[in-house]
Chains A and B, each alone.
Chain A
Amino acid sequence: MRNFLARLYDFFGGLAALFLLATLIIILINILGRQFGFFLRGADAYAGYSIAAVAFLALASTLKRGEHIRVTLIFQRLQSKSRQFLQIWCFAAGSLLCAYFSYFIWKMVWFSYQFHDISQGQDATPLWIPQTFMAMGLTILTVALTEGLVMSFRGTSDVAEKNETLSFVE
C-alpha cells in the first residue's frame, strides 16, 4: 500500500514537472512569435494554467520530502511523546482542511463544467479542464496527509522530520 502511494505521489510530481516544461515551451513560442510575426492565441492564459498545475500536482511529493515550510522551533525542542502528539495534530488538521478544500474545488470544477464557464481571455478555454488539475493535486495532498496521520499514530511518520536545511527557495 505504502509503495503504491509513494509511486502515486511521484507520478503526480512528474506530471507537475511536465507542466513546468510546458510553461517554458509556451513562453518560448510566444517570444518567437513576436519576432517572426505569428501569434499564439491566449499564450498568457495557457502559461497561467500550466503553472497552476505545477503548483498543485506537486503538493504531495513536496510534502513527502519534507519540503513544505513550517515553523519547527517548538517541534525540535519536544520529547518524542509530545512530539508525536503535535505531529498527529498537524496531520489531522492538515488532512481535514485539505479534504474540505478539495471538496469545494471539485464543486467549482463541476460548476464550471455545468455552466460552460469559459475563460474571459483570448484562449476561451473551458475552465473545468485546467481546474481539474488543481482538484486532483489537492486530493492527492489530502491522501498524503491522511497517510501521514495514520503513520504518526503508529509513530513511524517519515514526513517532515528533515528540516528545511537544503531548501533553496530562500
Chain B
Amino acid sequence: MDQLLISIFLIITLLVILASGLWIGLTLLAVGLVSMEIFMGKPAGDSMALTVWGSLSSWTLTALPLFIWMGEILFRGRMSEDLFRGLAPWLNRLPGRLLHVNILGSAIFAAVSGSSAATCATVGKMTIPELRKRGYPEKLTIGTLAGAATLGFLIPPSIIMIVYGVASNVSIAQLFIGGILPGMLLALLFMGYVIIWSLINREQIPAAETGLSLWQKLYAARNLIPLVLLILLVLGSIYTGFATATEAAALGVVGALLISWLQKTLSWSSFVEGIMAGARLYCMIALILAGSSFLTLAMGFIGLPRNVATWIGALGLSPLELIVALTLFYLVLGCFLDGISMVVLTMTVVLPTIQQAGIDLLWFGIFIVLVVEMAQITPPVGFNLFVLQGMTKHQIGFIARTAFPLFLIMIGTVLLIYFIPEIVTYLPGQMKGRG
C-alpha cells in the first residue's frame, strides 16, 4: 500500500483510539503493534519487549523519577508559607503589589520543581486565599498564577526537558541551563504586564499594607533561605559541572528531605506518602514513554518521519515559517493532549525536519518547552486549568480567559527567542565540565 495512505490511516487510528479514552501509553503501544503486524508483516511482540526494556532501563531517564520525588517532598512541606512570607513584604510597593508573589513565587519554586502543575498547586495553596482575603481582583489573582506556574517547565529542573533530551539526544544539563534566561525573561515580562495593568486600573488594587522597615523585610526574607540553598545545590552543581542532571536530582532529593526534616514537616507517613506518590507519577510517565518508544520504532520501519521531513522540506519553508507552523500545530495539539504525550508523540516525526532545516536542537528544546507551557493553559485540556479548577471551583473557561494575556506574552517570548537565540544559547555555551 501507498506509504502516504498508511501514514494517514495510522494517524487516524491513533486519534480515534486516543479519543475513546484508552490510556495514552497503551494507545501508543497498540498503534505501534498494528503498524508492525499489519503493514510490515513483522512479528512485533519480541521487538516490543526488547525496545521497551531498553528505553526504560536507561541511565539518562534516572533524573526523571528523582526530580518528581523531590517535588513530592517539597509539596508536602512548608514551601508555600515560606514563599509567601518571604516575598510579600518586598513587593508591597510595586504596582500590583502581592500579585507579584504569584509570579516571583512561581519562578523561584520552579527552580526546584520540574512540573508546572506542582508549581501551580504549591504557590496557589497560599497566595489564592491570602490575595482573596485582601481583595485583589480575582481575575488577576488566578490568571497570573495559571500563567506564571507554567514557568515550572521552563525554569530548570524540568520534566519536559528531560523527556525531550532523552528523545533528541540533547544534553539534559545543557537544556536545563538553557532554560534559565528565557525563564527569567518570561517572569519579568509577566511582572511588567501586572505593573502596567495596575497603573491603568489603580482603583482595583488594594492599598499597601503598613510598610515594614528594611530590617524587618530582611528578617522576613529568611524564610526563603532553604529554597535558595536548594536551588544553588541543584542548579549550581549542574552549572559548574560537579554533577550530571541525575546526580543533581539525587542531591536535590537529599536536600529536600533535609529541609523538611529541619522544618519538622517530615514524618514517617509524609515520607512514605511522598515516595509512593513519586513512584506512581513516574510510572504514569513511564507508561507513555514505553508506548512511544515502541511506536517510534514502528514508525521508523514504515518510514513516516523520513517522509514527513522530505515532504516538509519540499515545501521550501523558511525556518521562521516552519517555526510559526509548528507553533500553530502544537497549540492545536495542546488543546487536547498533555505536554509529555505531545512531546513524545511528535518528536520522531518532527526532529528530522528540524535537523534538515538547520535549526539548533538545544534551541528547539526550549521552544518546545514554551509551546508546551502554553498548552498547560489552553482549554479544554490544560493541567494548570485543572489544578486551579480544583482549588478555586471556577469554570475552566473562566480560568483560561484570565490567563489569556499571559498566553499572549508567551507567544511574544517565542518570537523573542527566535530573533535573539542567544537568550537560549548563551548560558549553555558558558558551562564548564561535561555538559
Chain A contact residues, CB within 8 Å of chain B: 13-14, 16-17, 19-21, 23-24, 27-28, 30-31, 44-45, 47-52, 54-59, 61-63, 65, 67-75, 86-87, 89-90, 93-94, 97-98, 100-101, 103-105, 107-108, 130-131, 134, 163-170
Contacts and interface: CB of A to CB of B under 8 A. Distances in A.
Nearest to A50: B62
Given A71-B337, A94-B23, A54 B276 contact: no
A74 to B, nearest CB: 6
A168 B281 contact: yes
The 7 A-B pairs with the shortest beta carbon distances in the complex, nearest first, are: A55-B286, A104-B45, A170-B383, A58-B283, A52-B57, A168-B118, A27-B250
A51 B61 contact: yes
A168 B278 CA distance: 9
A61 B275 CA distance: 13
Interface string B40-51: 000001101110
A54 B390 CA distance: 29
B26 interface: yes
B72 interface: yes
Contact of A169 (B30, B48, B56, B285): B285
Interface stretch (B63-71, B82-90, B192-200): B63-71
Contacts of A44: 59
Most interface-central of B20, B48, B279 (chain A CB within 10 A):
B279
B24 interface: yes
B225 to A, nearest CB: 24
Nearest to A69: B24
Interface string B402-415: 00000000000000
Interface stretch (B4-12, B128-136, B338-346): B338-346
B390 A27 contact: no
A7 B389 CA distance: 32
Contact of A68 (B25, B33, B53, B383): B25
A73 B379 CA distance: 11
17 contacts: A24-B254, A47-B246, A48-B57, A49-B57, A50-B62, A62-B283, A65-B280, A68-B23, A69-B338, A71-B24, A74-B19, A74-B21, A93-B22, A108-B46, A168-B115, A169-B284, A169-B338
B386 A107 contact: no
Contacts of A54: 65, 279, 282-283, 286
Contacts of B376: 170
A161 B386 CA distance: 15
A63 B384 CA distance: 22
Contact of B280 (A27, A61, A72, A97): A61
Nearest to B64: A51
A73 B336 contact: yes
Nearest to A28: B250
B46 A104 contact: yes
B35 interface: no
A170 B282 contact: no
B381 interface: yes
Contacts of B21: 70-72, 74-75, 86-87, 90
Contacts of B287: 55, 59, 62, 68
B176 interface: no
Given A20-B279, A169-B159, A48 B22 contact: no
Given A48-B57, A51-B61, A170-B338, A165 B389 contact: yes
B368 to A, nearest CB: 14
Nearest to A164: B386
B250 A31 contact: yes
B228 interface: no
Contacts of B140: none
B93 to A, nearest CB: 34
Interface string B102-120: 0000000000000111100
A168 B159 CA distance: 11
Contact of A90 (B23, B46, B53): B23
Interface in B340-367: 340-341
A59 B278 CA distance: 13
Given A31-B247, A56-B283, 18 more contacts: A24-B66, A24-B69, A31-B250, A50-B62, A54-B282, A62-B283, A62-B284, A63-B23, A69-B284, A71-B19, A72-B21, A74-B19, A74-B21, A90-B20, A93-B17, A108-B49, A134-B52, A169-B115
Given A68-B284, A170-B338, A98 B26 contact: yes
A89 B20 contact: yes
Contact of A73 (B381, B386, B389): B381
A30 B65 contact: no
B282 A31 contact: no
A27 B281 contact: no
Most interface-central of A65, A69, A86, A170 (chain B CB within 10 A):
A170
A156 B33 CA distance: 31
Nearest to A13: B276
B155 interface: no
Given A21-B275, A31-B247, A70-B22, A167 B337 contact: no
A51 to B, nearest CB: 5
B143 to A, nearest CB: 18
Contacts of A170: 115-117, 159, 338-340, 376, 383-384
B189 to A, nearest CB: 22
B288 A69 contact: yes
B243 interface: yes
